[in-house]
Amino acid sequence: MKGKFYIEGHKSKAGWEDESTLILQGANGYATLDQATTQAKEHFEKDIELHLVVIYQEDKDRNKVGAKMIFRGDEGALEESLLFY
């Protein structure tokens, strides 16, 4: 898939009724997965509430197709996982 990479950040759910966890919606696209990853890590440094970032591309129908997931582990360290579709 070709195109820009976008980032979307989420906080942890505070409770069962907590529907919306989105706290970061990156409007800027990045040319490479590495650039998007670097930007996502910078957001983790700035925002302690940020728990999960999904890096995605959009297909021709503008559906989000995940490329990578970065999350804060139990001990606070960042962990990364590539997403395959």
pTM greater than the 0.85 cutoff:
no
pLDDT in tens, 31-74: 999 999 999 999 999 988 888 999 999 999 989 999 999 999 88
Is the pLDDT at 19 greater than 80? The verdict is: no
pLDDT at 1: 65
Q: Could you tell me the residue ranges of all domains in the chain? A: 56-85
Long-range contacts of residues 65-73, Cβ cutoff 8 Å, at least 24 apart: 65/1, 67/5, 67/33, 67/36, 68/33, 68/36, 68/37, 70/37, 70/40, 70/41, 70/44, 72/44
